[in-house]
Chains A and B, each alone.
Chain A
Amino acid sequence: MSAAQEVVTEAPAIDAVPKRAMTLGYGTSLVMLAVLILVPLFVKNFIIFQLTMLLIYGLAVLALNILTGGSGQFSLGQSAFYAVGAYTSAILMETFNVNYALTLPVSGVICFAFGFLFGLPALRLSGIYLALATFALATAMPQLLKLNVFEPWTGGVQGLVVTKPDAPFGLPISQDMWLYYFTLVITIGIYIFSVNLLKSRSGRAFMAIRDNEIAASAMGIDVALYKTLAFGVSAGITGVAGALGAIAVQFVAPDSYTIQLAISLFLGMVVGGVGWLPGSIVGSAFIIFVPNIAEGISKGLSGAVFGVLLFLVIFLVPHGARQVAVLGQQLIGKFRKS
């Protein structure tokens, strides 16, 4: 073992994303919003349920996007935070009879604390090590949830059944539709919060850390604080998504929150474009609908289709949906000129 220490220049965790490129313009946002509000009025209940899941996974992907696209940290452990959120909400609703809407902030706060605490050891880790530690967290979570000690609350391997809430004030709409609009309102709220967070002082600190940690600390940014904060915020949002997911699916069980879920969310982020918040919904659509299509072709092949598509994205459009959107914009621009 030589006395000389090894000196390396670390490759950046991700490509830098300019702040302006992280969101959509007002016009496009309003059109998206109108589509999201109007579509459920014309489709069947099952599709409304799928749209609800689309928003929920969209939130979870958004949370990962804040962590990775914002502060440059990896996580393959989002399924663990999602599970904690889902279980918190389910236990509060079923054991303590708390109103479903009130369980969401509780899930968010508990997951924020959990993420913040997990962010502490994560401080020592960067890049691949962090991916590894979170990967281990995701694989360990189902076993933790199955523990006998927690069984009176978690229901062990069986899981818990959650009651679906009715529309309040005697509104004449179905449970599914009510839940969809309820989720939509929360999603929009969190989206606006995230956009503003990234535009704020904290958001700029995240991005400085992402682009060059040492330079950021030289500029007076408390690297440890902001890195754990990013973990906490990301986990908190994932927790709210998990809670909504538990209410929508009406069921929580340890095996719904395996590493597969974490991989899906990661995949959603890559497909949607790392650091591009609106891409989260594209990524979420990808992870919900592509497995269905793949299983239609051949059962058991969905993993392979997933993997092949992921490779295609990496090689052809490394910036995901953002790149496609930019290309589309340029094409329209050319079309108008000619």
Chain B
Amino acid sequence: MELFTNQVLAGIATGAIYACMALAIVMIYQAIDHLNFAQGEMAMFSTFIAWQLMQWGVPYWGAFVITVAFSFAAGIIIERLLFKPLAKAPILTNVAGFIALYSIVNSVAGLIWDFTIKQFPTPFGSSPFLGSQLISTHQAGMIGVTLLLLLLLFFFFRFTRMGLAMRAAAALPESARLVGINTSWMIALGWGMAAAIGSIAGMMIAPVVFLEPNMMLGVLIYGFAAAVLGGLTSPFGAVIGGFLVGIFENLTGTYIPGVGNELKLPIALALIVIVLVVKPAGLFGRPIVKRV
């Protein structure tokens, strides 16, 4: 039983990573109705910017704020320049666009900062948290940051005019336009917010997985799995999904022999396929009905 509890705790700690990423994925899905394959790479790029700022002597929180602001702006610029013209294009074109972005960001990051693994500092320290060997203060801090983000998002969407406008633009674009909401800018704002959340996720994850251009691939797949499990329409579901996926990953690793680190990605794949087959809307998502 002790082993079980420990593994669940450790799972929650890793789950915080996925929850962060899943939150960013759901944000953009809500805004544009597409999954952004480049999300992970954008987060990675932001993290490199933070790293570079710190190399130049900027203190952690200064770099943190600058990076989040930069990512927000970059997200909006990317949407305005590259994806706004594609808004009415078929899905295939959008997927191709995401892949192009993925490839560009990955390659440029590799070119600027090369592929060597870099240490990324944590603001929370890495000593054991409350005397527990399983969760470090960094992981506890990461869980805290994720929950704080979720809370902020909840308040934003629930109690601000802007949040209401964004929800309206995502749910019924035509009607939203009729009541005077600039839906096109709401989408841009969604991109900006997703990029900003992604950058926070990146900076939280980097101390754990180390900083390098390919650091996000595994995390992205798990983030997808978490988002799918929680339901792509629900930020709350995404966070819960993240923690569940983390726990699931740890428990399968402990109790099923032969499942180790080398099967990490196939497990995520299996999870995605199972959820999509059994309950496509996810645990907390709304089912979507198609009109003929």
A residues with CB within 8 A of B? 1, 5-15, 68, 74, 76, 121, 124-125, 127-129, 131-133, 135-137, 139-140, 143-144, 146-149, 214-215, 259, 263, 266-267, 270, 274, 298, 300-308, 310-311, 314-315, 318
Interface residues of B in 29-56 (CB under 8 A from A): 34-35, 37
Residue of A140, A301, A302 with highest tally of chain B CB at under 10 A: A140
What B residues does A1 contact at CB under 8 A? 286
Given A6-B171, A8-B288, A132-B272, A318 and B107 touching (CB < 8 A)? no
For this complex, 28 residue pairs linking A to B, each with C-beta atoms less than 8 Å apart, are: A1-B286, A7-B288, A11-B90, A13-B92, A125-B276, A132-B35, A133-B272, A135-B224, A136-B269, A139-B217, A140-B221, A140-B266, A143-B262, A143-B265, A147-B263, A267-B99, A300-B110, A300-B111, A300-B114, A301-B107, A301-B111, A302-B107, A303-B103, A306-B103, A307-B100, A307-B102, A308-B104, A310-B100
Residue of A nearest to B87 (CB): A11
In the bound complex, what is the Cα–Cα distance between A147 and B258 (angstroms)? 9
In the bound complex, what is the Cα–Cα distance between A1 and B233 (angstroms)? 11
In the bound complex, what is the Cα–Cα distance between A266 and B269 (angstroms)? 20
A140 to B268, Cβ gap below 8 A? yes
Residue of B nearest to A311 (CB): B100
What A residues does B82 contact at CB under 8 A? 311
- B253 interface residue (CB < 8 Å to A): no
Residue of B nearest to A263 (CB): B99
Given A5-B289, A306-B100, A315-B85, A298 and B111 touching (CB < 8 A)? yes
Residue of A nearest to B36 (CB): A128
Q: Which of A7, A74, A304, A305 contacts B95 (CB 8 A)?
A: A74
Q: Which of B34, B111, B268 contacts A136 (CB 8 A)?
A: B268
B268 to A146, Cβ gap below 8 A? no
In the bound complex, what is the Cα–Cα distance between A20 and B142 (angstroms)? 57
Q: Which of A121, A259, A300 contacts B273 (CB 8 A)?
A: A121
What B residues does A139 contact at CB under 8 A? 217, 221, 265, 269
What B residues does A6 contact at CB under 8 A? 171, 286-289
B residues with CB within 8 A of A? 34-35, 37, 82, 85-86, 88-93, 95-97, 99-108, 110-111, 114, 171, 217, 221, 224-225, 228, 258, 262-266, 268-269, 272-273, 276-277, 280, 286-292
A165 to chain B, nearest CB (A): 33
What B residues does A307 contact at CB under 8 A? 99-105, 107
- List of 7 A-B pairs having minimum Cβ-Cβ separation, nearest first: A303-B107, A307-B104, A310-B100, A307-B103, A304-B107, A307-B100, A136-B269
A314 to B221, Cβ gap below 8 A? no
In the bound complex, what is the Cα–Cα distance between A6 and B287 (angstroms)? 7
Known pairs A76-B99, A136-B224, A148-B262 / 6 extra A-B pairs, C-beta < 8 Å: A9-B290, A11-B88, A125-B280, A306-B100, A306-B103, A306-B104
Chain B interface, DSSP helix/strand/loop, else mixed: helix
Residue of B nearest to A312 (CB): B100
B34 to A132, Cβ gap below 8 A? no
B225 to chain A, nearest CB (A): 8
What A residues does B88 contact at CB under 8 A? 11
A13 to B90, Cβ gap below 8 A? yes
In the bound complex, what is the Cα–Cα distance between A154 and B88 (angstroms)? 45
A68 to B92, Cβ gap below 8 A? yes
In the bound complex, what is the Cα–Cα distance between A133 and B276 (angstroms)? 9
Given A14-B91, A270-B96, A307-B100, A143 and B263 touching (CB < 8 A)? yes
What A residues does B291 contact at CB under 8 A? 7-9
What A residues does B264 contact at CB under 8 A? 143
Given A5-B286, A314-B93, A131 and B103 touching (CB < 8 A)? no
B90 to A12, Cβ gap below 8 A? yes
In the bound complex, what is the Cα–Cα distance between A306 and B287 (angstroms)? 37
Residue of A nearest to B218 (CB): A139
B212 to chain A, nearest CB (A): 13
Residue of A nearest to B101 (CB): A307
Residue of B nearest to A303 (CB): B107
Residue of B nearest to A80 (CB): B269
Q: Which of A74, A124, A143 contacts B92 (CB 8 A)?
A: A74
In the bound complex, what is the Cα–Cα distance between A154 and B290 (angstroms)? 44
A263 to B97, Cβ gap below 8 A? no
B265 to A314, Cβ gap below 8 A? no
B231 to chain A, nearest CB (A): 10
A303 to B104, Cβ gap below 8 A? yes
A131 to B95, Cβ gap below 8 A? yes
A137 to B34, Cβ gap below 8 A? no
A15 to chain B, nearest CB (A): 6
Residue of A nearest to B268 (CB): A136
